Amino acid sequence: MTAPMVTRATGSSLQRLAEESWDRVAAGSVLHYEGAQWTGTQLAERIRRVSGGLREAGLRTGERVVVCMANCSEVGVTYHAVWRAGAVATPVLFLLSESELRHVLADSGAVFAVTTPEFLPKVTAAAAGLDGVRGIIVCGDPPEQDGGPELLRFDELETSAAASLVDTDPAALAALLYTGGTTGRAKGVMISHNALSSASWAATSTSHGDALRSALLPLPLSHVYGLMVSVMALHSPDPGTTVLMRGFDPAGWLRLAAEYRVNISPLVPSMLQMLLQQPLEDYDLSALARITSGAAPLPRQVAEEFGRRLPQVEIAEGYGCTETAAIIATSPIGQARPGSVGRPAPGAEVRIERQDGTAAGPGEDGEICVRGPMVMTGYWHAEQETEQAIRDGWLHTGDVGRLDSDGYLYIVDRIKDLIIRGGYNVYPRDVEDVLLGHPDVLAAAVVGRPDEKYGEEVVAFVQLRDGSAAGPAELVEFGRARLSAVKYPREVRIVDQVPLTSVMKTDRKRLRATLTG
């Protein structure tokens, strides 16, 4: 497989790039969703009309529109319609609580919110009393409700006349995304048109080839990942077929992958673990050639088992964050290395930094820093936090990693997740990888709890496979035999399920709360 020739438009806003790309993209692109399908031409016409509807509803250049939706065709249409109107997309995961959503609406100064009917009560409650929110746009049939902002129907926006393009500066704000808020209130991340376009171009140029023309998308589009995916097709000479899932379920993913002869699919490690519990061999997955994994480290055991059962599939890890429009490193087609998240993405420079600020050498651990056109402009209304994050032009990610002599990046752990036991550093991932080697362990998460003697003690939360009977003492001994005296967990807690965040990462904050609460 070879990477395709992709187009890269610099100095253009996303709406200008779309206007210049649609004729080419429309010729071969098709979106499938729950039995319906749209060609690129049909989607482009929907975008023009919805953009006109938004302008008629009062949306003005630079204003923010919150997008809180389950996956559906209207998510991508909304993003492009907002950009065409010269405004700013603010995607939020529908799993946010009412108070978290209210913070985003208020902090961003959003004037509209777009949602699907099942989330309308939460969005309405979150917007209650916020004078800035002028209306809520609902896809589908909205339930009746009293009070709150004006309700607008998405399909009525589509009856509007097609809007002309409102062009903006490529350096202007295209998206305002809110971080998870694991260390406090979520901060708005400012992503410019050029940053999002650069990230999408980098992803397209490294992860799509001639034999990868059918993609299955199960990840939430109301997220930085969805923003990037919504722009990727504009850089591809032949985007092909996209199959969109409303939400991930392993049996549904397998059915769609077989039905549409899918070639590529982006997943997160927890999804791969769920798929391994399914009868993969009962489905015709012969067309599947590549799975990209991101959002969290992929356990070696999961990748190896998937490789044994589907040997034709390349498992390629990638790495990014909200502050880089979802991309920092990618594994080029046919060049994935086990345990590595790949090389720096095109346009990105990666530096490993020691605690004293100097550059680390090959194989040496340090903080991962990145600079390039995909890096955020800064945090919304947070100059001090921006200065702390971007120093001397380098974004400091807060992640620990190392580069090998060939330039491949390896993620060690999050700096904030580091456990310091008796003055020694313990990275949770090292302990988790060992515990996952036990045949009875399905998932593991390691955190530190306060300890008077050692400062912190290593505690593991373990989810067992169905029918397994391993106990805490056995798992402690398993770790003791394979880890240094500093690292092995002194305490193992068996849980029904290792908790995940809304983006399906291990929820360490919740686990720590169980130890200190």
3-state SS track over 390-436 = EECCEEEEEEEEEECCCCCEEEEEEHHHCEEECCEEECHHHHHHHHC
Q: Which domains does the chain have, with CATH numbers?
A: 14-21+31-168 (3.40.50.980), 194-414 (3.40.50.12780), 418-516 (3.30.300.30)
Highest-pLDDT range among 141-150, 228-237, 239-248, 372-381: 372-381
Higher pLDDT pick, 257 / 20: 257
3-state SS track over 459-485 = EEEEEECCCCCCCHHHHHHHHHCCCCC
The pair of three-digit structure tokens given for residue 285, joined into one six-digit string = 């997955």
Of the candidates 82, 109, 105, the one whose C-alpha atom is nearest the C-alpha of residue 92 is 105
Q: What is the pTM of this model?
A: 0.83
Note whether 113 and 68 are within 8 A (CB): yes
Stated as kind and residue range, the H or E segment containing 303 is helix 300-309
Separation between Cα atoms, residue 77 and residue 50, nearest integer Å: 8
At residue 2, the pLDDT reads 39
pLDDT at 5 over 50: no
HSE toward the beta carbon, residue 455, CA cutoff 13 A: 10
pLDDT level of residue 1 (50, 70, 90 thresholds): very low
Kindly report, residue by residue over 408-443, the tens digit of the pLDDT. 999 887 777 888 887 677 888 889 989 999 999 999
Size of the chain, expressed as the number of residues it contains: 517
HSE toward the beta carbon, residue 44, CA cutoff 13 A: 22
Find tokens 């991962």 and name the residue. 368
Helix (H, G, I), strand (E, B) or coil at 236: coil
Averaged over 157-163, what is the pLDDT? 89
Helix (H, G, I), strand (E, B) or coil at 517: coil
358: amino acid identity, one letter: T
Kindly report, residue by residue over 46-104, the tens digit of the pLDDT. 999 999 999 999 999 999 999 999 999 999 999 999 999 999 999 998 878 888 899 99
pLDDT at 184 over 60: no
Note whether 43 and 233 are within 8 A (CB): no
The secondary structure of 36-92 as a DSSP string is EEEEHHHHHHHHHHHHHHHHHTT--TT-EEEEE--SSHHHHHHHHHHHHTT-EEEE-
